[in-house]
Structure formats: C-alpha cells, structure tokens
A and B are shown apart, each in its own frame.
Chain A
Amino acid sequence: MKRLPVTVSILAAAVMATSSYAGGDAIFQKDCADCHYTVGPAREKTISDQLAKKGPELWYAGSKFQKEWLLSWLQDPKPIRPMKYNSLTEKNPADHPKLSAGDSAAVTDYLMGLTSADVKAGVIKPKKSAKGRLIFTKKMPCSGCHQYPARKGKIKGGLSGPSLVGASKRLNPDWVYAYLMNTKVFKPVRDMPDFAGVLNPKAMEKVAAYVAIFK
C-alpha cells in the first residue's frame, strides 16, 4: 500500500513534465511560429528564402542556447543583433515579445528539446586562448560583423551579425564549434563565410573556446 502514493507521485510528475512540454509547444505555435520555424533540417535554399524569414530558425535551439539564458531572455528580451533581422538599414527595434515566467519556462523546455545530432557535447571548454583571440581579432574577419567585448571594457566590432557580447552565457560552445565546422547544416544560406577549409578544426576549437569566454 505504501507503494501506491509513490507510484501516483511518479505518474503525476510524468504527466506534469509531459504537459509542460506540450504547453511550451502550443505556446510557441501560437506566439512565436510566425517568425521562427522549429522543424529541421534547414529549409532555406536561396537568398530570397533567407530574406523571407522574420527571425532566426530555432530547430536546433536546444543545441545552440544555454537553458538559463533562454529562460531569462524570453521574459526580458534584449536585442542580440544590433540591426533588425535581415536589414542593413534599420536598427533592431527591440520589440521582441516578452513571455510571462510560466510561459517562458514552458517554451524554454520545448526549445531545449530541439537538438541537432551534429552538435557533440563536451568538446569545447571555454578558454582564454591567445591563439583564439589572434584568429578572432586579427587573422579572420569575425570582428568585422560581430560585436565582442574587447579590452578595458570596450565593445568593438561590426553591426551586421549577431553580437557575441555575453556569448559565455548565451551560447553553447559546442554549438559554436559545430557551426564553424559544418555551417551549411545549420544555415545553408547566410551572409557569414563558410570557414571549413579556411580554418583547420584545431583553429576552430580555439575560436569557439575564445568566444565562450565573452562576457
């Protein structure tokens, strides 16, 4: 008889977990799916396909983002891109919808469940790497399009790409590495160059580890 309450508790927990996930999916479809798609693989085949999108694809969100960051950002979204998505003339209007704490938790659970098999866990450890810094700031054009925290608290870098300020909290370093290694899987059409064949895997590891310390 003692087992019954335990079984009931486990069942209740399972039902709650399932309903939370399902709730997140439903909230997402209602509030977010106009701008973001969540079913992979990538759909874009032409530049026009990319330009038709209102926001980034999220079918690998669970591999890309850190859960704590996502949970908090959905409740108080601050611009990640200095420019409006797909625009070179308009600044980011900072008008991303906010979710309540409850909806944010449900949507975070849903999005964190969307992962990519191309992202291997535990490969990249955040590291203040001189080589990574050299590649990012001097050898390669990364800073031309991405803002990053430079020395003495300054923020430097171009405005057309997503800012990498705060990447240590926002991005999964393993995703950054996978994205560099195999860009086309995630974004077949993009205005960021494919560095496969330009940088070797070791150099990409260094860059990913360096980006992973950006505060």
Chain B
Amino acid sequence: MRTLAVMIATLVSLTLLAGGTVQAAEDKQLFEFYCAQCHGLTGKGDGPNVTKDFKTDPRNFTSVADMEKLSDADIKNVVMDGGAAVSKSELMPPWGKTIAEADVDKLVAYVRKFCKCKAKGK
C-alpha cells in the first residue's frame, strides 16, 4: 500500500515538474521571439538591433538597481502601450495589439527573473 502511495506521489511530482518545464520553455520562447532582438537573449539589453545608431539603451533586465525601481505594472504598461506612452523611447514598440495580455503577464514574470529582485511595491 505504501509503495503505491509513493508511486502515485512520484508520478504527480513528475507530471507537475514536466508541466513547469513546458511552461518555462514557452515563456522563454515568448521572450526570445518578441523581446530579445533588442533586450538580448540574456536580458542585458544587448540584442542584435542595438547597433551604434540605436538611440537608447534598451533596459538591462539583469540590473537590480534599475529593475527594483519598476513595479510589475510599470513593465506591463510599457510592453502593452510602448515606450512613447510612458515618456520613454519610441523604439520600445506597443505590443498590446500583438501579444495576448495573458502572455504579457508571463513576459513580465520572465523578465523579473533576470534580476532576481523584487518589484517596486512588493
């Protein structure tokens, strides 16, 4: 009986783990598809678009000092409405018509992981 319980618990854990891994892979894919061209694959703000002519430094998501100043709502707003809407660079596009809001929430959570820091107000 005890063996059966252990087997079930193991199966449940593995299933949850697999689900989490799939979700993590999906979040990574979202980030790499929509954000990494400017913010870089490792979030340092050094994507291939950032040439010497690029008019601003895309946010470096690994910077604790910068990221602690932003709430998750701040990040969500700039993703949805673009940089110009929050008095930042117009080179940050408005993604609200392109990326589903649920995916924007995933992106905000993903971006937050780069700095391993707390959001402003949390």
Identify the A interface with B (CB < 8 A). Answer: 47-48, 50-51, 82-83, 88-89, 138-141, 143-145, 156-160, 190-198
| Cβ–Cβ contact A160 & B48, under 8 A | yes
Closest residue on chain A to residue B81 by CB atoms: A198
Q: 9 A-B Cβ contacts within 8 A?
A: A47-B29, A48-B29, A50-B33, A88-B32, A88-B36, A141-B83, A141-B92, A160-B48, A192-B98
Contact count A vs B, C-beta below 8 Å: 71
Residues of A close to B97: CB separation below 8 A? 193-198
Residues of A close to B82: CB separation below 8 A? 141, 198
CB of B45, distance to nearest CB on chain A (Å): 13
| Cβ–Cβ contact B93 & A158, under 8 A | no
B46-71 CB contact bits vs A (8 Å, 1 = yes)?
Answer: 01111101100000000000000000
Residues of A close to B91: CB separation below 8 A? 141, 143-144
Residues of A close to B29: CB separation below 8 A? 47-48, 51
Which of A88, A89, A144, A156 interacts with B93 by CB under 8 Å? Answer: A144
CB of A193, distance to nearest CB on chain B (Å): 4
CB within 8 Å for A145 and B49 given contacts A89-B41, A194-B98: yes
Closest residue on chain B to residue A46 by CB atoms: B29
Residues of A close to B77: CB separation below 8 A? none
Which of A82, A157, A193, A197 interacts with B95 by CB under 8 Å? Answer: A193
* Majority DSSP secondary structure for residues of B touching A: loop
CB within 8 Å for A139 and B95 given contacts A88-B36, A158-B38, A158-B48: no
Bound Cα distance A145, B93 (Å): 10
Interface centre among A138, A144, A193, by most chain B C-beta atoms within 10 angstroms, is A144
| Cβ–Cβ contact A139 & B84, under 8 A | yes
Closest residue on chain B to residue A155 by CB atoms: B53
- Residue total for B at the interface (Cβ-Cβ under 8 A): 27
Bound Cα distance A89, B47 (Å): 9
| 4 closest Cβ pairs, A-B complex | A158-B49, A160-B37, A144-B91, A194-B97
Closest residue on chain B to residue A159 by CB atoms: B48
| Cβ–Cβ contact B37 & A145, under 8 A | yes
Closest residue on chain A to residue B94 by CB atoms: A198
Which of A140, A191, A198 interacts with B34 by CB under 8 Å? Answer: A191
Asked if B30 is an interface residue, CB under 8 A from chain A, the answer is yes
CB of A138, distance to nearest CB on chain B (Å): 7
CB of A64, distance to nearest CB on chain B (Å): 20
